[in-house]
Chains A and B, each alone.
Chain A
């Protein structure tokens, strides 16, 4: 089961970022197969069969998203790769692009072919300028080999691929904000409808997919959708890149088979090898900073005592009262010394900083939560602040233009839900709160 490594199979091969080595290890074979033996519909069909779900965080089936693309006559269609990886705890796409640029490029060509796009873009966050340089070098190699440009491999299919940077804005990971930014504007998410599948880049039908989703099309075409779907459990098919960070003995990017147990992922020798410095696990945010935090007793087991698995379903088991989400696969571990209040404030500060400011609940609400949490963390809190936070939360959640409002609200709601005592302790012990942590919470006694 372990280390099937569909995406990262050759990641350690020296020179794999160059086209020669990549081709020697089976690179661009999927592209040859698709362009010579398959129709665009065939590729779409394999992606549908694979059960691949969007790897950026939302988990929406990729094949279904592709099938929504409007195809009016005489209007160009675009594929845009979302490489604006900015969710705290998530650094898998950067790893993939830096180490295996051609895997993304091959995936882009395959996906563009399936969608009938002749011009595609990779929008990468501006901070990753050095990765942009790696991608541009790889794209130039692909053009030279005839994998990009006119009449690719004699198939009659043309594709141009351009990488373009952002300028530092988490919100541009939201697909319509990304399109605005790609058009050279402020990254304000658009009001939907219309959705990008109908009106996207420059008003034309557009699909926006995450880096990992696009890369996964390469093994799906190579081995067939059924083979990909055979990995995993239920609707969580295939492999997933998990970027593990925080207080782990061995943080980093791992490709896991969906369905691996959380226990094995945290403590297993092939994965993170437990908590750093022999400490105890206090809490875990399993899917990037915007998903609910789980206290230690809900990390490896669900509330009903079943093993928690690395799947979309199992991590969400128990809903917001005892579950969380797989999200983008940004797996953050907190050891016993970490302060939940400080971390919640830190995340709230992040979302306040990253709010575009367009709609009022997010613009005012994220800033308000940040200020209240800052007061609590710095010994100026009142008991009524806790309920105030919970209420501000409810007024933001679901009422904003884009999901950033929810992303800002959930971590605060979950932290108060699971660690309310720690917030109260901070308010009651303002001077101690600034020098030491509350400690581990106790597992509730089940009667």
Chain B
């Protein structure tokens, strides 16, 4: 099995950041001393991911342009940190913690259940584009497991039933 990391993208895609986005990006940059703009990169990647759902090559190139650094410096950072999606994802990304303490209280079973319920494997997206299922390493909620994170929200003390209800709420748009 060969690892391929060449991302598929349209080199002609033009990314234009909204004024609101540029304002936010400047606010982040201004938190750091002059000439230290690169420190803003991780937070800017989070902002871009909130805006575009995932980080495509043209988006990352645009960030490089904004920070006046080489595109490779953005790729290096974006591929190092696991929170960044470098491939298209569903509307809701469910990231279930699978590390030791969560496993002791049933995260393996929870992951299996969600796979079965959504009819996808970990790493896949449902055919309607609604959910992507991922696993995460320790999310820092060990005493409240099993748990999953969806965007900035932690859903803790999950059971199979609670997870079912949660997925329905996301599906129906009751929670965003």
A119-127, A303-311, A317-325: which lies at the B interface?
Answer: A119-127
A158 within 8 A of B: no
Is the Cβ of A87 less than 8 Å from the Cβ of B38? no
Residues of the A chain whose Cβ atoms lie less than 8 Å from the Cβ of B165:
none
Residues of the A chain whose Cβ atoms lie less than 8 Å from the Cβ of B103:
342-343, 346
B39 within 8 A of A: yes
- Closest-by-CB residue of B relative to A330 is B142
Is the Cβ of B138 less than 8 Å from the Cβ of A87? yes
What 0/1 pattern do residues 315 to 349 of A give for CB contact below 8 A with B?
Answer: 00000000000000010101100100011001100
Once bound together, how far apart are the Cα atoms of A247 and B146, in whole Å?
Answer: 12
What 0/1 pattern do residues 76 to 99 of A give for CB contact below 8 A with B?
Answer: 000000000111111100100000
B53 within 8 A of A: no
B100 within 8 A of A: yes
Is the Cβ of B100 less than 8 Å from the Cβ of A94? no
Is the Cβ of B43 less than 8 Å from the Cβ of A164? yes
Do A202 and B36 contact each other (CB < 8 Å), given the known contacts A89-B100, A165-B42? yes
Is the Cβ of A91 less than 8 Å from the Cβ of B143? yes
Is the Cβ of A184 less than 8 Å from the Cβ of B42? yes
Is the Cβ of B137 less than 8 Å from the Cβ of A164? no
Is the Cβ of B83 less than 8 Å from the Cβ of A127? yes
Closest Cβ of chain A to B41, distance in Å, is 4
Residues of the A chain whose Cβ atoms lie less than 8 Å from the Cβ of B38:
183-185
Once bound together, how far apart are the Cα atoms of A184 and B38, in whole Å?
Answer: 5
Once bound together, how far apart are the Cα atoms of A335 and B106, in whole Å?
Answer: 13
Do A185 and B140 contact each other (CB < 8 Å), given the known contacts A246-B104, A332-B101, A343-B100? no
Closest Cβ of chain B to A96, distance in Å, is 12
**Contact-residue bracket for chain A:** 35 or more
Closest Cβ of chain B to A338, distance in Å, is 6
A407 within 8 A of B: no
Is the Cβ of B36 less than 8 Å from the Cβ of A86? no
A196 within 8 A of B: no
Q: Which residues of B (1-56) have their CB < 8 Å from a CB of A? A: 31-33, 36-43, 45-46
Is the Cβ of B143 less than 8 Å from the Cβ of A243? yes
**Contact-residue bracket for chain B:** 35 or more
Is the Cβ of A127 less than 8 Å from the Cβ of B140? yes
Is the Cβ of B140 less than 8 Å from the Cβ of A91? yes
Pick the contact of B143: A128, A133, A244, A335 (CB < 8 A). Answer: A244
Closest Cβ of chain A to B159, distance in Å, is 14
Do A186 and B80 contact each other (CB < 8 Å), given the known contacts A130-B153, A166-B42, A181-B42? yes
Residues of the A chain whose Cβ atoms lie less than 8 Å from the Cβ of B81:
126, 166-169, 187
Closest Cβ of chain A to B147, distance in Å, is 10
A253 within 8 A of B: yes
Is the Cβ of B80 less than 8 Å from the Cβ of A89? no
Do A169 and B82 contact each other (CB < 8 Å), given the known contacts A94-B140, A127-B139? yes
Residues of the A chain whose Cβ atoms lie less than 8 Å from the Cβ of B126:
none
Residues of the A chain whose Cβ atoms lie less than 8 Å from the Cβ of B130:
none
Residues of the A chain whose Cβ atoms lie less than 8 Å from the Cβ of B136:
127, 168
Closest Cβ of chain B to A422, distance in Å, is 16
A170 within 8 A of B: yes
Is the Cβ of A167 less than 8 Å from the Cβ of B77? yes
Pick the contact of A182: B39, B84, B139 (CB < 8 A). Answer: B39
B172 within 8 A of A: no
Once bound together, how far apart are the Cα atoms of A253 and B144, in whole Å?
Answer: 10
Closest Cβ of chain B to A187, distance in Å, is 6
- Closest-by-CB residue of B relative to A246 is B104
Once bound together, how far apart are the Cα atoms of A164 and B41, in whole Å?
Answer: 10
Pick the contact of A162: B31, B104, B149, B153 (CB < 8 A). Answer: B31
Q: A88-B101, A89-B101, A183-B38 are known contacts; what are 14 more A-B pairs with Cβ within 8 Å? A: A127-B136, A130-B154, A133-B152, A164-B43, A165-B46, A166-B42, A166-B81, A184-B77, A247-B105, A289-B138, A343-B104, A350-B99, A350-B137, A353-B137
- Please list the 4 inter-chain residue pairs (A to B) with the smallest Cβ-Cβ separation, ordered nearest first: A167-B81, A184-B38, A168-B83, A251-B143
10 pairs, CB–CB < 8 Å, chain A vs chain B: A88-B138, A91-B142, A94-B141, A127-B83, A129-B152, A130-B153, A170-B137, A332-B101, A346-B98, A350-B137
* B residues in contact (CB < 8 Å) with A: 31-33, 36-43, 45-46, 73, 76-78, 80-84, 98-101, 103-105, 136-145, 149, 152-154
